[in-house]
Amino acid sequence: MSDAMISRPFRGLKRLRALLRDSSAVAITEFALSLPVLLIFGLGGIEVANYTLTHMRVSQLAVSLADNASRAKEESVSGTPRFREYDVNQSFLASELQSSGLNLDTNGRLILSSLEVNDDGGQWIHWQRCFGDAPYTSSYGVEGDGESGTGFVGMGPADRRVTAEDGYAIMVAEVFYDYEPVALGTFIPDSPIRKFAAMYVRDDRDLSQIYNPAPAVTVSSCN
């Protein structure tokens, strides 16, 4: 057997030892191994931040909707100012413009209710209007609830329920929004964002009905 044939295993072993001692690519290897974890936490942080921001925007939408509806009216020289279907639609339009980028008409549902006092002194949802294609209904009652009697207790969560006073109305706004993840939906609860706000009507208003004078507009029905 030649000396060359004998030395081949030793040369191979020498190369293996040299490779094991080589640390020139340790940093790159460690980075490659940690990259998936870094991506998960990085994208997860972005997702949580965006979800939190969306919560805040939806909350502001509810407050703005209730506030705008509480202020809107048509002045009348012959009597008390009236609230019109046009005013309802304009309040919804303002919310849609405010929600730019949220696709509120597709992914959301706005519900505006007029909480008043019925003839028996009980709470009453006199009318209710809706905007958006998301399939949600009010969490606190529908139009006509409490029309008579005193069994209907008002609207809102149990710990901050609102009730109207005789001769006045409260504009109750509910906003439902189906959040769309931007990176990692795993970090986000699989449930809609829900927000509630209520505002007393700021001035005198004819509470007998919502008017729809000519030219009439399309009613934003909840049906």
pLDDT tens, position by position, 78-101: 688 999 999 999 999 999 999 998
For the record, the structure tokens of 185 come out as 């939906």
Which of 3-17, 67-81, 104-118 is the least confident region? Answer: 3-17
Give domain status of residue 100, yes or no. yes
% of residues, the chain, pLDDT over 70 = 81
The average pLDDT across 108-127 equals 98
Question: Does 205 map to a domain?
Answer: no
Tell me which residue range forms the domain holding 46.
Answer: 39-200
Q: Tell me whether residue 209 is in a domain.
A: no
Flag whether pLDDT at 3 surpasses 60.
no
pLDDT above 90 covers what percent of the chain?
A: 65
Query: Per-residue b/e over 22-50, b at no fewer than 16 CB within 10 Å?
Result: eeeeeeeeeeeeeeeeeeeeebeeebeeb
Sign of CA dihedral 201, 212, 176, 156: positive
The answer as to whether 86 is a domain residue is yes
Q: Flag whether 9 is in a domain.
A: no
pTM: 0.81
Copy the structure tokens of residue 122. Answer: 């009980």
Please say if the pLDDT value at position 77 is more than 80: no
Residue 24: pLDDT over 70: no
Query: What pLDDT, on the 0 to 100 scale, is given for residue 17?
Result: 75
115 found inside a domain: yes
Determine, yes or no, domain membership for 54.
yes
What integer is the mean pLDDT of 151-160?
95
Whether residue 121 is predicted with pLDDT greater than 80 in this model: the reply is: yes
Q: Is the pLDDT of residue 116 over 70?
A: yes
| Domain tally, the chain | 1
Would 89 be classed as within a structural domain? yes
